[in-house]
Amino acid sequence: MNSSDNFFASWTTNESYKSMLRLMGSLSGLFSSSDIPFIQYRVTENLFCRCFDAVNLSRMDVAYDAKIGDMGIGIKTFQMPGAYSIEKVAEFNRIAASFKNLKGEELAHYIARVRNERMRLGDELCGVSKRIYHIVERKKNKLIVFNSPYRFINEDGITNVCQKDTSLSFYDGEEQYIFYPSKSVLQKRFEINLSDSMVLDVDILKDPYAVLMDRIGTDILHPDLHVASSGGDLFSSASDIRESVVLPLYSLRAGGTVRYVPERSGLNQWNASGRMRDPNEVYIPIPQKIHKQHPSFFPERNECFVLHLPDGTDLSAKICQDGGKALMSNPNKSLGQWLLRKVLKLQEGELLTMDKLDMAGFDSVTVAKDGDHEYSLFVCTSENRPDDNAEASM
């Protein structure tokens, strides 16, 4: 069995996962006085990845939060007051102008098409061929954990389209969706899947502060921690924190507010003037401020290093051009074959534009330093970055 098959066969018996969910739920009093356990969604994502040895995709702006083998997983944590809950599954802020004049069925089909394209792009980026939602539902003194289908929207099956002043709802034959144009948010109806679920009782501590203070200086905060940690460390250590930089795939016009992809450099380097170039020849620009802020982050110019791509592929790469302003693969066509052809599905000779990047849902890449001459690349968006030119972080 591959790793995704192993997950389905044994996920309800993972004692580390169950214990850690109970533990985090028991500490809900730190944040709320409710008898409904509170678990922050990032905590759920990190616990899932730790306990199931899943690849954590939280650094990437893709349709999935984690990956096990070839299975993409959307991880959600929410309350379900009744038999169902309506939850956000996608957001399209960067392309809001493209659908502002659409209504009814035309808007429903457009959103379905964009949503499906984002999922397809996530599949290509991360090497995914099947997908599920993993849900942690919070109820009074318990957690109901279940898996739910993660489907493409059936564009041909769209029906029951209902246009209201602030929303658009539609059904595709299997799932119910609601889209809010003013927020560019797509939501989906979730129902409990009892055939693939487990129930965890949670004893919420009445005074978690006292318990934590009493445990300071000891090796345990809760009995479940011994069970949870028996399979390995479930918490990130300092060594897990990797130095990283964010590199924009675009430039800024005069004034610094309008993004564009240069037609003859960067990801369109193949179109540069002068000699004939391979149609896949590209490079990722490195702003000078990155070298100034992190002078030892990248190896010396023309010194090869390994670049891990999110689908598991490894490229040989190097820093090129005067001032080290370009990250290129070696050979230089490999990066373009992956990003332009496989991921973005551009034809040879087709220019990459800002509109196409926005439609894809990313406009930058994060490069993380894994070790000596070893790096990982993730796609991301500058939307929530404090500096729209570039960011360096530890």
The pLDDT of residue 241 = 64
Tell me how far apart the alpha carbons of residues 130 and 112 are, in angstroms, rounded to a whole number. 18
> Would you state the pLDDT for residue 38?
94
Distance, in Å, from the CA atom of 187 to the CA atom of 86, rounded to the nearest integer, reads 6
Tell me which range, 73-77, 211-215, 226-230, 240-244, is most confidently predicted by mean pLDDT: 73-77
The residues with which 179 forms a beta bridge, in sequence order, are 168, 186
Residues 342, 223, single domain; the answer is no
C-alpha to C-alpha distance for 176 and 181, rounded to whole angstroms: 17
Please identify, among 210, 239, 268, the residue that sits at the C-terminal boundary of a domain.
239
pLDDT given for residue 77 in this prediction: 96
Domain that residue 356 falls in: 242-393
Better-scored residue on pLDDT, 237 or 103: 103
Same domain, 302 and 207: no
- In sequence order, the β-bridge partners of residue 85 are 190
DSSP-derived pairing of the beta strands 305-308 and 374-380? parallel
Q: Single out the residue in 216, 239, 262 at which a domain terminates.
A: 239
| Joined tokens for residue 110 | 């457009």
- Residue 132's pLDDT band, with cuts at 50, 70 and 90, is very high
Which residues, 6 or more positions from 287, have their beta carbon under 8 angstroms from its beta carbon? 247, 248, 325, 389, 390
* Average pLDDT value over all residues in the chain: 89
Between 4 and 188, whose confidence is greater? 188
**Coil vs helix vs strand at 297:** coil
Residues 235 and 246 in one domain: no
**Same domain for 215 and 74:** yes
Give the single-character DSSP code of 112. Answer: H
Least confident span in 162-171, 177-186, 225-234, 287-296: 225-234
* Strand ordering across the sheet containing 244-248: 284-285, 326-329, 314-320, 305-308, 374-380, 364-371, 244-248, 391-393
Among residues of the chain, what percentage have pLDDT more than 90?
79
Q: In angstroms, rounded to a whole number, what is the distance separating the alpha carbons of residues 142 and 21?
A: 10
Neighbours of 355 (CB within 10 A): 14
Q: What is the mean pLDDT of residues 207-222?
A: 72
Quick: pLDDT tens for 88-97.
999 999 999 9
131 and 248 fall within a common domain: no
For residue 383, name the pLDDT band (cuts at 50, 70, 90): low
**Which of the four pLDDT bands, split at 50, 70 and 90, describes residue 341?**
very high
Both 248 and 211 in a single domain? no
Instruction: Let me know whether 125 and 217 are in one domain.
Output: yes
Same domain, 85 and 140: yes
Query: Considering only 12-16, 85-89, 384-388, which range has the smallest mean pLDDT?
Result: 384-388
Across residues 123-128, what is the average pLDDT? 94
Tell me: do 318 and 347 sit in the same domain: yes
The band of 363, judged by pLDDT with boundaries at 50, 70 and 90, is: very high
Q: Which amino acid is at 157?
A: G
Closest-CA residue to 356 (of 95, 93, 90): 95
3-state secondary structure (DSSP) of residue 10: helix
Which of 239, 256, 276 terminates a domain? The answer is 239
Residue 15: how many CB atoms within 10 A of its CB?
A: 13
Confidence tier at 5 by pLDDT (50, 70, 90): confident
217: confidence class by pLDDT, cuts 50, 70, 90? low
Higher pLDDT, residue 370 or 223: 370
Mean pLDDT of 273-291: 94
pLDDT at residue 385 above 50? no
247 and 381 in a single domain? The answer is yes
Mean pLDDT of 376-380: 93
Helix or strand (DSSP H, E) at 177: strand 176-180
- Same domain? For 24 and 140 the reply is yes
What is the reported pLDDT for 257?
A: 82
- Do 199 and 137 touch, CB atoms closer than 8 A? no
**223 or 19: which leads in pLDDT:** 19
CATH code (residue 364): 2.40.330
How far is residue 393's CA from residue 374's CA, in Å, rounded to a whole number? 17
CB 143 within 8 A of CB 135: no
| 390/331: higher pLDDT | 331
pLDDT tens-place string over residues 218-275: 555 455 444 444 444 444 433 346 899 999 999 998 777 899 999 999 999 999 998 8
Same domain, 192 and 249: no
- When divided into structural domains, the chain yields a total of 2
